[in-house]
Amino acid sequence: MVDKNNTKILAKDVDVFYSEKQALNKISMDIKEKEVTALIGPSGCGKSTFLRCINRMNDLIEICKVSGSIKVDNEEIISSATDVVSLRSKIGMVFQKPNPFPKSIFDNVAYGPSIHGLADTKSDLENIVITSLKKAGLYNEVKDRLNEPGTSLSGGQQQRLCIARAIAVNPEIILMDEPCSALDPIATAIIEELIDELRLNYTIIIVTHSMQQAARVSQKTCFFHLGELIETGDTNKIFTNPDNTKTQDYITGRFG
Amino acid sequence: MFFWSIVLILIGIYSSYIFGQSRIKKLVYSTNLKPKSQYNYHAQYVLSWCLLPALIVYFSWAVFEEQIIQNLILDSFEYVEGAAYDDGLLLAEIRNVANNTDFSEGKSKEIINAASQYKSLKLTSEISFYISIIIIMVLGSLYAVRKINIQFNAQDTIEKYIKYILIFCSSIAVLTTIGIIFSLIFESFRFFSQVSIFEFLFSTEWYPFIPIREGQAAAEGSFGAVPIFAGTFLIMIVAMCVAAPIGLLTAIYLSEYASQKVRKTVKPLLEILAGIPTIVYGFFAFVTVAPFVKSFGQSIGIDASPTSALAAGLVMGVMIIPFISSLSDDVINSVPQNLREGSLGIGANKAETIKKVILPAALPGIVGAFLLAISRAIGETMIVVVAAGTAANLTANPFENVTTVTVQIVVALIGDQEFDNPRTLSAFALGLVLFVITLSLNVLALRIVKKYRERYE
């Protein structure tokens, strides 16, 4: 059994610049294995930017420059030598807006395993797809229509499809960028339950605007403000007795 | 007449504007009430009642003047018994004499009389034109000024006039199109009354010759358009073989791989390629590509003709690359970014993402781009006129001479021809078929593109 307090991700002095504008300033934190860590803070505080550093998604933005050090399983990832493809197969990502591919439900989930060659036979692939859909709590709803387009599902189902798609490649970490902001309260509740289950097997980092959500699903909470990490700690502590007055002001709704 | 009538109309515009403005100002001053519209709308109202009738007079003069004068001249012309006259030639002669002040020797008395009559009629017409345009402008302004009062809503009325003017302008474009279509259809009917429609659509012999003199021994022409359509199709295939892969790969490079800076430079450059006059492509095809194709054909043991489907098709392909690349680039760019991120986030590399996610998502739009390019290729004329030849061969060998619909239309209309024989009329039938094909391709392409857009918005 792995020690509960094993560090999975260790960030040290991470700076991010968009052209001249500094978006993150000397962020250092460690994220524990098999816990849910919530990143909270007002809009534009850099929490999504930090999330996207972890799987190098910021590479897609031409003007974005990242410096500092992020170690995943003790391996440096902010380096030109990093194998981004294998890094991303180890770190799944779920986006703000559900983004199923314009393919069938089955092909959406099978996409990752087939490009990484995880399945040797067709039945292997089917197994992976079905297991992933079950883990994402979607299988019972879609088992009779796996060949219908993924875009035909409801918003909440689409988001769970995207989670199934992410876990189909056996990631160790799942990044969630405001996964519920486009969903209604019922779909949100289902996803939150799902996050709680997934915690047993995955390290989850979730960016959220909803403080209730952070309080409900996370064990650790990090509060960002204006590109700086203001406070980090156990969720219970942050929400009941924060050290910093800014954190206090934000969680009590005085700004943000 | 042109210069002075412009001056007159400008004076009319200015004075009617001032007239209207001073009128409403005076009304406001005397009644001490607030008018319904601002001063300048009242002025514009008077102005439009001055200008529009003047323009109507001007254009009706421009259209009917010559016709009426000609009829008067011909009516009163002293025909000499026994001589043969052609109205057109006669009028031309009279006009020449009238415009040339020193009457040339040897003109008959009737012509000289008619010429001086023509000149006096012209003068009368000019004077009455000036008088009537002044009268109509004054009457129009007076009518409008009488309608002006404090309660009058000039702004609404002007709005209405503007709407009518806009409707008029847009209906000109629409009516012209409809007119062209109908003339195509009617002339095609005339063609099909002389040549059976089945021969035209299904026969494979195209010899659009007609006997020049009556009783000439020359063979009757035959009008089977199959080789022409086959030639068009062959050249289109060659062109698409060049343009589809190059255009699509260019689009992928521009939208997915190139940096913003490269994209901003290369895309306009490519679009310049679309601005080169097609005749320039034409002689490029003829001077450079066709000889190359011929020698290439010979080197692999195929006897190529000096102008060939391959040469024309290759150059046409280059010509439509920018259509395909530019349109496909737009389509690929409008695939939502979050699909890219979704795929890359799973650990797919760029090529896999493009092949498996982006292109399938963009496919309908890309097909639309291809269809637009094809319809452009089919309608293209100059390259094929110069580089493909004019012989209507039914062949699938791209090294041979072929001909296309557009080339045959050019051939049919070149030279001094009357529009009463199947040779010239065939141009309309070919044009009609071409129109139907390109129209349906365009409609299909636009539908596909639109459907695709709706899916993401």
DSSP string, B371-413: HHHHHHHHH--HHHHHHT-S-------TTS----HHHHHHHHH
The confidence score (pLDDT) of residue B457 equals: 46
Is the residue at B210 inside a domain? no
Model confidence, pTM: 0.76
Range of the structural domain that residue B179 is part of: 157-194
CB B167 within 8 A of CB B402: no
How many Å lie between the alpha carbon of B362 and the closest alpha carbon of chain A? Answer: 10
Residue with structure tokens 């008077």?
B46
Closest alpha carbon to B184 in B432, B442, B7, B375: B432
CB contact (8 A) between residue A57 and residue B347: no
Encode burial over A186-201: b for 16+ CB neighbours within 10 A, e otherwise: ebbebbbebbeebbee
Segments in B253-358 forming alpha helices (H): 260-273, 278-284, 290-299, 309-333, 337-345, 350-353
Pairing relationship of beta strands A75-76 and A91-94 according to DSSP bridges: unpaired
CB-closest option in B259, B336, B338 to A62: B259
Is the residue at B118 inside a domain? yes
In chain B, whose CA is at the least distance from the CA of A84? B347
CB-closest option in B336, B347, B360 to A85: B347
Q: Is A54 on the interface with B (CB under 8 A)?
A: no
B313 and B447, same domain (yes or no): yes
B115 and B164, same domain (yes or no): no
B183 and B327, same domain (yes or no): no
Q: If residue B148 lies in a helix (H) or strand (E), which one and from where to where? A: none
In chain A, whose CA is at the least distance from the CA of B360? A102
The confidence score (pLDDT) of residue B104 equals: 58
CB contact (8 A) between residue A95 and residue B347: no
Out of B102, B135, B152, a domain closes at B152
How many Å lie between the alpha carbon of A89 and the closest alpha carbon of chain B? Answer: 5
Tokens coding A240:
């009941």
How many Å lie between the alpha carbon of B167 and the closest alpha carbon of chain A? Answer: 43
List CB contacts (< 8 A) between B361 and chain A.
101-102
B421 and B276, same domain (yes or no): yes
Tokens coding B435:
């129109």
List CB contacts (< 8 A) between A151 and chain B.
455
Is the residue at B199 inside a domain? no
Strand partners of residue A7? A32
CB contact (8 A) between residue A93 and residue B260: no
Is the residue at B205 inside a domain? no
Closest alpha carbon to A103 in B23, B342, B326: B342
Q: Is the pLDDT of residue B221 over 80?
A: no
CB B38 within 8 A of CB B155: yes
The pLDDT tens digits of the residues spanning B232-284 come to 889 999 999 999 999 999 999 999 999 888 988 988 888 888 888 888 998 88
Q: What is the mean pLDDT of chain B?
A: 85
B162 and B138, same domain (yes or no): no
List CB contacts (< 8 A) between A163 and chain B.
none
Residue B215 — left, alpha, or beta (φ > 0 → left; ψ -120 to 50 → alpha)? left
The CA distance from B421 to B209, in Å, is 10
B interface with A, Cβ–Cβ < 8 A, is: 259-260, 336, 338-349, 352, 356-357, 360-361, 455
The confidence score (pLDDT) of residue A1 equals: 41
How many Å lie between the alpha carbon of B21 and the closest alpha carbon of chain A? Answer: 57
The pLDDT of B82-107, averaged and rounded, is 71
Is the residue at B202 inside a domain? no
The confidence score (pLDDT) of residue B298 equals: 87
In chain A, whose CA is at the least distance from the CA of B359? A102
Q: If residue B45 lies in a helix (H) or strand (E), which one and from where to where? A: helix B39-76
* Interface probe with B: pick from A62, A64, A90, A93, most Cβ of B within 10 Å: A93
The CA distance from B336 to A116, in Å, is 24
How many Å lie between the alpha carbon of B344 and the closest alpha carbon of chain A? Answer: 8
B28 and B122, same domain (yes or no): yes
The confidence score (pLDDT) of residue B243 equals: 94
In chain A, whose CA is at the least distance from the CA of B352? A115
Domains and CATH numbers, chain A: 7-251 (3.40.50.300)
Q: If residue A92 lies in a helix (H) or strand (E), which one and from where to where? A: strand A91-94
- Helices B359-379 and B422-456 meet at what angle, rounded to 10? 160
List CB contacts (< 8 A) between A165 and chain B.
342, 346
B134 and B189, same domain (yes or no): no
A residues 56-75 lying closer than 8 A (beta carbon) to B:
57, 60, 62
Q: Is the pLDDT of residue B377 over 80?
A: yes
CB-closest option in A86, A97, A165 to B338: A97
The pLDDT tens digits of the residues spanning B116-175 come to 888 888 889 889 999 999 999 999 999 998 888 888 888 888 999 999 999 999 999 999
The pLDDT of B343-357, averaged and rounded, is 91
B123 and B163, same domain (yes or no): no
CB-closest option in A62, A102, A169 to B346: A169
Is the residue at B208 inside a domain? no
B226 and B256, same domain (yes or no): yes
CB contact (8 A) between residue A99 and residue B259: no
If one compares B452 and B445, the residue with the highest pLDDT of the two is B445
The pLDDT tens digits of the residues spanning B177-200 come to 999 999 999 989 888 888 888 888
The confidence score (pLDDT) of residue B351 equals: 92
Residues of chain A with confidence (pLDDT) below 50: 1-3
Q: Is A99 on the interface with B (CB under 8 A)?
A: yes
How many Å lie between the alpha carbon of A85 and the closest alpha carbon of chain B? Answer: 5
The number of beta carbons lying within 10 Å of the beta carbon of residue A104 is: 17
Out of B152, B170, B205, a domain closes at B152
List CB contacts (< 8 A) between B338 and chain A.
95, 97, 99
CB contact (8 A) between residue B346 and residue A115: yes
CB-closest option in A103, A151, A165 to B346: A165
* Interface probe with B: pick from A111, A162, A178, most Cβ of B within 10 Å: A111
The pLDDT of B386-409, averaged and rounded, is 82
Is the residue at B214 inside a domain? no
Q: What's the angle, vertex CA B453, arms to CA A57 and CA B243, rounded to 5?
A: 85
Q: Is A102 on the interface with B (CB under 8 A)?
A: yes
B237 and B269, same domain (yes or no): yes
Task: Give the CATH number for residue B303.
Answer: 1.10.3720.10
Contacts of B377 (CB under 8 A, 6+ apart): B235, B236, B239, B240, B243, B316, B320
Q: Is A162 on the interface with B (CB under 8 A)?
A: yes
Q: How many domains does chain B have?
A: 3
* Interface probe with A: pick from B264, B332, B339, B346, most Cβ of A within 10 Å: B346
Segments in chain A forming alpha helices (H): 47-54, 84-90, 105-115, 122-135, 139-142, 155-167, 185-198, 211-217, 235-240, 245-251
Q: Cα-flanking dihedrals φ and ψ of residue B390, to 5°?
A: -125, 0
Tokens coding B207:
């010899």
* Interface probe with B: pick from A99, A103, A107, most Cβ of B within 10 Å: A99
List CB contacts (< 8 A) between A101 and chain B.
339, 342-343, 356-357, 360-361
CB-closest option in B341, B356, B357 to A95: B341
Out of B99, B133, B152, a domain closes at B152
CB-closest option in B341, B356, B357 to A60: B341
The confidence score (pLDDT) of residue B240 equals: 94
CB contact (8 A) between residue B344 and residue A60: yes
Is the residue at B283 inside a domain? yes
B325 and B271, same domain (yes or no): yes
List CB contacts (< 8 A) between A103 and chain B.
360
In chain B, whose CA is at the least distance from the CA of A96? B338
The confidence score (pLDDT) of residue A6 equals: 84
B278 and B178, same domain (yes or no): no
Q: Is A183 on the interface with B (CB under 8 A)?
A: no
List CB contacts (< 8 A) between A88 and chain B.
344-347
